[in-house]
Structure 1
């Protein structure tokens, strides 16, 4: 089972503002620029399931349209879902440790999971289940907010796969996580 992260951060390492705001990621000048490096479309083409936390799901649901198409999505939460506003057909809810989640999805035949959301990424890193990180740094300092990496993520060696930059100032770094044998 391969677990990958594909995420954008501010240069100072935040994935969202302090209140969960991601409007800074949705600026029009970013949408029209060509991204060098691994495109989202190329990344997602090999993914079986997107695994995200409930906070990320709640934030994504505020966007004008569902950005994942028919890609199956698993929302991690110990609370029951609030389906009063409906939910996309390919969304299901699970609870459990990262190890339990990956085991259950592997038993269903999944080979590649896309792990998204700050807390979820950190939980999977703590469990040493992340195999690859693709981080696109947006040329902006937020000053505070929700960090990609928390203080309790254990040290892990990374091997650089690629580093690219785009005309709009984006810098993308792809790393393989070096798991001890």
Structure 2
């Protein structure tokens, strides 16, 4: 059985995942509830993949890397090897992920960023989408999805409310 790739991400009501300049401060302005469903998703995965800009952001805003308890791959054109917390991957994103999906293990969390997500969408590599909508209309910024994308039929599995956040959980019908 092939492993599934999960997109767990927050977006504004108008579909942006960051303001111009990769600003994510607006996400912390909203009153949520608990960890807004993060723990439940995190328990279902054993592997994390992210782009280098996302990794750099996580390292910049945290004292210690928060995902050292999971296998974590960071796609980078320049970094190589491992630093103890993550393994840097210089090979083709799509081919690497297809091979990763064939390995034993639990689900894979595709953290972001936008370029990595765009490649995954165009290649239909996302199997579940858990999107948390924030009560913001940003007007501009980095979009959740870049057109054009293939048409993907979805099945809504669950809708949850975390105070001011609304979370929708979809299964992609490949």
Q: TM-score, normalised by structure 1?
A: 0.83
Q: Which whole-Å CA distance do the structure 2 matches of 1:141 and 1:63 have between them?
A: 24
Does 129-138 or 92-101 show the bigger shift? Answer: 92-101
Matched, 1:127 2:123: yes
Quote the offset at 1:123 in angstroms.
1.0
Alignment partner, residue 86 of structure 2: 91
Cα gap change, 1:153 to 1:95, in 2 (>3 Å): farther
Contact 1:35–1:170 under 8 Å retained in 2: no
2:141 is aligned to: 145
| Residue 4 (structure 1) aligns with | 6
Q: Whole-Å Cα distance in 2 between the matches of residues 35 and 120 of structure 1? A: 25
Runs of 4+ displaced beyond 6 Å: none
Which of 16, 19, 43 is 2:18 aligned to? Answer: 16
- Structure 2 residue matching 1:30: 3-state secondary structure: coil
How much is the aligned-residue C-alpha RMSD, in angstroms?
2.2
Paired positions, count: 170
Q: Tell me the CA shift for residue 69 of structure 1.
A: 4.0
Residues 83-126 of structure 1: per-residue CA shift (max 9 Å, x gap)? 9xxx8622011133343212442465344210121221221111
Whole-Å Cα distance in 1 between the matches of residues 16 and 83 of structure 2?
28
Of 102-111 and 121-130, the range deviating more from structure 2: 102-111
The change in CA–CA distance for 1:108 and 1:35 in structure 2 (over 3 A counts) is: closer
Separation in 1, partners of 2:8, 2:62: 21
Q: CA deviation at 1:51?
A: 0.4
Equivalent residue in structure 2 for 1:44, among 42, 45, 57: 42
Question: Partner of 1:61: helix, strand, or coil?
Answer: helix
Give a deviation string over 1:5-43, Cα, whole Å, max 9, x none.
Answer: 10111111111111001111123x536x3466xx11111
Task: Give 1:53's aligned residue.
Answer: 51
- Any unmatched runs of 5+ in structure 1? none
Name the structure 1 match of 2:67.
Answer: 68
